[in-house]
């Protein structure tokens, strides 16, 4: 996002977590009052896969609530004119009709494995809408699908599925492992969007959208986790077997977003999944120590 905005000629103001803890409301408001931004894109969040969400639900709930409360309230106090809050497609009901329209929000039971995270993100959307209704703030929200790309988290305990699979298959190929065993059945279907396409979508929303309803951000296509694993195995050069541990949870059976609202604004993703995986793998290899 920062790269895209800078390339478009905007002055991008950021602070790393080592310099500003967004969970600290007082410091966050002070920072925003000092810099007086024209617009804020709230993409910061505590995120992770099924294992991390199941193990640390308190942190996923409380950290995200604190970040959202600090930044959205702080932006309003600083007089920020535009704000885009990024939720997540994880917030939709577990068995929502596919593809998922924005109107499906809060119409059914959430996926138990990430319920705490989902509730926090839903609160962020409601907070954004509340600032619009009470103060007339030009604040909007969006629900991105599963994201991947350079800068992703490749820690096997806390990462999402795509970077975790890249690392698993890379290490298996490097070590000559005869088999890689993955969680679940491989049958759930997921949609993936490269972060550069997300950035382009966010810019388009800031330019062309000012509605109360959240907007889905995705590519409108999905594949099974099994197919994803096979693609990543090919990209990394792994030729061993792929096994499935069906004693582990699958998560939501399918999660494909209806992106007609975003498409109507003139947005179309540009990076095919296979190309995006190859780019992401090449970036990650460049981050590894020579011995890796």
Asked if 213 contacts 250 with a C-beta cutoff of 8 angstroms, the reply is: no
Catalytic residue among 92, 117, 148, 238, which? Answer: 117
How far apart (Å, rounded) are the C-alpha atoms in residues 105 and 121?
Answer: 11
Beta strands across the sheet bearing 39-42: 39-42, 82-86, 138-144, 215-217
Which tokens in the block code for residue 117? 């995270």
Phi and psi for 160 in degrees, rounded to 5? -80, 175
Q: Is 117 a catalytic residue?
A: yes
Residues across the chain: 292
How far apart (Å, rounded) are the C-alpha atoms in residues 142 and 112?
Answer: 22
In the chain, DSSP finds a helix count (H) and a strand count (E) of: 10, 11
H/E segment holding residue 192: strand 192-194
Closest alpha carbon to 262 in 87, 147, 105, 142: 142
How far apart (Å, rounded) are the C-alpha atoms in residues 87 and 80?
Answer: 19
CA separation, residue 100 to residues 8, 130, 220, 280 (Å): 32, 24, 10, 27
Catalytic residues: 117
């Amino acid at each position: 996002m920062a790269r895209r905005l800078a390339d478009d000629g905007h002055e991008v103001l950021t602070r790393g977590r080592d310099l500003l803890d967004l969970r600290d409301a007082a410091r966050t408001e002070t920072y925003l009052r000092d810099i007086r931004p024209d617009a804020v894109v709230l993409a910061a969040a505590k995120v992770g896969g099924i294992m991390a969400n199941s193990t640390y639900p308190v942190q996923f709930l409380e950290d995200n609530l604190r970040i959202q409360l600090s930044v959205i309230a702080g932006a309003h106090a600083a007089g920020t004119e535009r704000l885009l809050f990024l939720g997540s497609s994880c917030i939709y009901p577990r068995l929502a009709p596919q593809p998922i329209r924005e109107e499906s929000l809060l119409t059914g039971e959430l996926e138990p494995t990430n319920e705490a995270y989902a509730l926090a993100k839903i609160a962020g959307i409601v907070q954004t809408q509340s600032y619009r209704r009470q103060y007339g703030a030009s604040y909007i929200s969006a629900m991105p699908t599963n994201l991947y790309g350079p800068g992703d988290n490749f820690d096997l305990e806390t990462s999402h599925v795509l970077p975790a699979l890249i690392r698993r298959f890379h290490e298996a190929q490097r070590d000559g492992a005869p088999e890689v065993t993955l969680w679940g059945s491989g049958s759930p279907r997921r949609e993936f969007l490269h972060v550069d396409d997300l950035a382009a979508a966010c810019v388009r929303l800031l330019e062309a959208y000012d509605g109360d309803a959240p907007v889905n951000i995705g590519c409108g296509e999905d594949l099974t986790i099994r197919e994803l694993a096979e693609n990543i195995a090919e990209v990394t050069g792994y030729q061993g077997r792929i096994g499935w541990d069906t004693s582990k949870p699958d998560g939501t059976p399918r999660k494909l977003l209806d992106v007609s609202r975003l498409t109507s604004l003139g947005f179309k993703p540009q990076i095919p999944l296979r190309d995006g995986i190859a780019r992401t793998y090449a970036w990650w290899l460049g981050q590894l120590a020579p011995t890796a």
